Amino acid sequence: MNSKIIKGRAEIEEGLLHICSVEPKFFSAAEVSGPLPTRLRDEGFTTLLDIIVSQQLSVASANAIWARLKDAGLTRRSALCSADINDLRACGLSRQKAQYATALAQSNLDYSELAGVDDDEVVEQLTRIRGIGVWTAEIYAMFALGRSDVIAAGDLALRESARMLFGYQERPTVKELRKMSEPWSPWRAVASRLLWAYYRAASNREGIR
């Protein structure tokens, strides 16, 4: 496995010390961002569904849709397997996302197996499921599996935060952000948490749920 496992604040603090030692600009980001949240979540279907719901939505919109799904009892795999697409759309999901949610419920994904494979294999297994792209897989690896060296480089808020912190005129591309994050290894997931926190402090907007 190419990541350490983040289990709580101790690992967050260890990672923060490392990334600040290799990139001085992270010191200034940490000063304005305050304590970093662990953002750890339960492994399994419900968390992955929640991440799918959040794809390409504002935090407020994703929260509202998720609340309606919970109220309708549609966050459990068994309920989704028998749900009608229109039931999901009534909660605010697009037709495409409703289809993705159903595909996840009907998949045979072994969530317990993911804990024992390396980061690249986690992404590989998850992206075999319709509707799960690299961003979704990497967010799951970071928050549900606690992987320390994953960065969701396609995340718009991360890229915008990097632009602001490093003084770029344009947001770094996905490829550029992955390249610039290499010295932050093996704590790129902590750097991600710091960049999201900096984004919130600098823009007064949440970048991630």
Look up the CATH number of the domain holding residue 162: 1.10.1670.40
d(C-alpha 94, C-alpha 92), whole Å: 6
Q: Are residues 139 and 157 in the same domain?
A: no
Q: What residue numbers bound the domain in which 184 lies?
A: 9-39+149-203
What's residue 92's pLDDT? 96
What's residue 6's pLDDT? 98
The reply to whether 3 falls in a domain is no
What's residue 27's pLDDT? 96
Q: Are residues 61 and 117 in the same domain?
A: yes
- Contact between 126 and 45 under an 8 Å Cβ cutoff? The reply is no
What's residue 126's pLDDT? 98
> Averaged in consecutive runs of 10 residues, what is the pLDDT profile of the chain (209 residues)?
88 98 97 95 97 91 96 94 93 95 94 95 97 97 98 97 97 98 98 97 85
DSSP one-letter code for 5: B
Q: Are residues 98 and 121 in the same domain?
A: yes
What's residue 1's pLDDT? 57
Q: What's the domain count of the chain? A: 2
Q: Are residues 67 and 105 in the same domain?
A: yes
The reply to whether 209 falls in a domain is no
Q: Are residues 121 and 170 in the same domain?
A: no
Give CA separation, 152 vs 116, 177, 189, 191, in Å. 20, 9, 8, 11
Cβ count within 10 A of residue 207: 20
Tell me which of 122, 143, 164 is where a domain ends. 143
Tell me which of 128, 143, 158 is where a domain ends. 143
- Contact between 139 and 48 under an 8 Å Cβ cutoff? The reply is no
Task: Classify the C-alpha dihedral 122-123-129-131 as positive or negative.
Answer: positive
Q: Are residues 112 and 61 in the same domain?
A: yes
Q: Are residues 54 and 138 in the same domain?
A: yes
